[in-house]
Structure 1
Amino acid sequence: MSLTARAFLFDNDGTLVDSMASVVRCWTAWAQEFGISGEDFGRVQLHGRPAVEIVADLVPAQRVGEAVRRIEELELADVSGVVVLPGTLELLGALPAGRWAVVTSATRALAAKRLASVGIHPPLIVAADDVRRGKPDPEPFLLGAQRLGVDPADCVVFEDAPVGLAAARAAGMRSVALTTTHPQEDLIADHVIEGLHRVRVHGSDEMTLSFGA
């Protein structure tokens, strides 16, 4: 199977990099500081959601601002163990400049720091700071397409989280799901792969993706 596109939109955590070790450390410390029980914390979905939404599920409204600032401080101070996922550098290096972007639920500062820690400096980042509604709303991906000057129908999204794939569908974009953080049965996409090491790109204007074994 192959897909053609004029631009590619990549989620970050779980798609380009693995930051899970840092995420677990920081959110565990944060939960302890704010007196969140393990039971309450365990009920909240972390992956693929903006920090402000996670925090709002766990602390009283009057403490949300303080709590969001604190988790940002903790995560910015700890990028230890963030690693680039297989195939990421090779695929990004094969893409023409201005034809790809990172679309993340993290803040711009946090996304840029995690990516820089593994030597990635994207030409464009669409972050939580840029949108009013995060994934699964289509706004982040639609903004990415707009800033690249490409029609949404000409974009392919790479995602590892069900909420991100839902956002891609809502934006009218095709998607490639990675089984890096969720089982294949939870991922609804045009194509499902183990990771970016399975992807090859051909061409420079209308690009074609192929998926190796």
Structure 2
Amino acid sequence: MSTQITIDSYRDFYFSIFLPAYADLTGYTLEKHKAVLYAIDSANSHLMQYLSPTLEQKIREENIRKAFTHLERATLDCYKLMWLHVESDLKSLISDKEKRVLCVNMGESDLLYKYHKATNAILESRKHELQNIGINLQTTIEKYRDAIEITKKIIENIDPIALDMVDIKRRRSRWIEIIFAFIIGILSTIASQPILKFLFP
């Protein structure tokens, strides 16, 4: 990285860029992800080397650059993992006509527009990432972040209570169908007994 990395720029990136991404991921998935934890651990390891007063300045500067790179990677991983989970949930929602209409507090056309806008933004982010490997992660991070921001506008309009109600209704309907089929089976068996006795005395 050509830009000079200082402890101040590291701290600013940590609080303004990394932490919001990490909070979004853990808040949405309710779990901590190994890839991100590994990158954080690597960043902290290099940071401790930078803070060591016994090392030469050149070595310390090299370590703060490496720490910053690991923190960038952790941030990018946060957004990429976030997308994997969000995409799975949104695909399930989009493909379900009933949930799409009843469980989202926005027009169906607006929902589909934002979903396709987000997927296109992710594709553009991936393309940019592949074209800029090892050059500048921050621009790639910004593109992924912008794509995730689009999905947030969908997520914040999803009614979790309505989703639960639809699922409960469907489970109840399945149980009613099973019980009804069971009762019909019993009645059919009872009704067939006289016929069987008549045919096979």
Report the structure number with the largest CA radius of gyration.
2
TM-score with structure 2 length normalisation? 0.21
TM-score with structure 1 length normalisation? 0.20
Larger fraction in strand: 1
